[in-house]
Amino acid sequence: MSIFAISDLHLAKSIDKPMDIFGPSWTDYMLRIEEQWHLTITSQDTVLIPGDISWATYLDVAQKDFEFIEALPGRKIISKGNHDYWWSSVNKLDAFREQYNFKTIEFLHNNCFSVGNSIICGTRGWKSPGEDGFGPDDMKIYKRELQRLELSLKCAKSIKTKDLQNESMGQRITKIIVALHFPPFTPQKKNSDFVCLMKEYGVNMCIYGHLHAHSIAGAIQGDIEGVEFKLVSADYLGFKPLKLIE
């Protein structure tokens, strides 16, 4: 059982939204996602999908995109991106999942999930103070996203505490992985408050997406003060899920 990640699927099974206008790398991208997924992922694996899942505006319009995801192998843990306008309350998301019998899909929203000896946390994130056009409304969203990440990390802390108390009963939790959509860095390539929060809670790895085309060159990756950062945008990965944990 391994953990993989890929973000920014930008599925458009129900609407006309050609992605090749963003460059030739997006030609036939949904077919390529499907092919690479089947070559890489088994039913025993878990795939983290941190945002920009579907171009649908409403949840019912996203049905075919989620049917596409459901039909792919593995467990999928999905979190929100800036283009996921269909995203709703946890109750509505769970009702949607039940209505269409989506058994392999789970939503990461103010919560966390155990996968093997890892805990998956996360939230959407937001652009950082100092970016062009960042205003008071952005600051409200930024602070709310920090709160959401802390709720998720507190969930992980609770699981780790129980795990330590019952060490003899099973496998020890050894890693915390955070899935964000936005990069957690400022325009000056400094750590944002999201990174500070991750360090406070002992996060081992952070994956993020959102960056495409020329923006990819500016992606910050590698070990930074004990947290390993990885960019997982679909076009950056060649539409092949990236293995995070064996």
CATH code assigned at 83? 3.60.21.10
The domain in which residue 65 lies consists of: 3-245
Q: Contact 114/159 with Cβ under 8 angstroms?
A: yes
Residues 152-199: tens digit of each pLDDT:
999 999 988 776 656 555 557 789 999 999 999 998 889 999 999 999
Q: 67: Cβ–Cβ under 8 A, 6 or more apart, which residues?
A: 13, 100
pLDDT value at position 154?
97
Confidence of residue 230 (pLDDT cuts 50, 70, 90): very high
Amino acid at 93: L
Compute how many other C-beta atoms are within 10 angstroms of the C-beta atom of residue 32: 17
What's the total number of domains in the chain? 1
Q: How far apart are CA 128 and CA 123, in angstroms?
A: 15
* pLDDT at site 173: 73
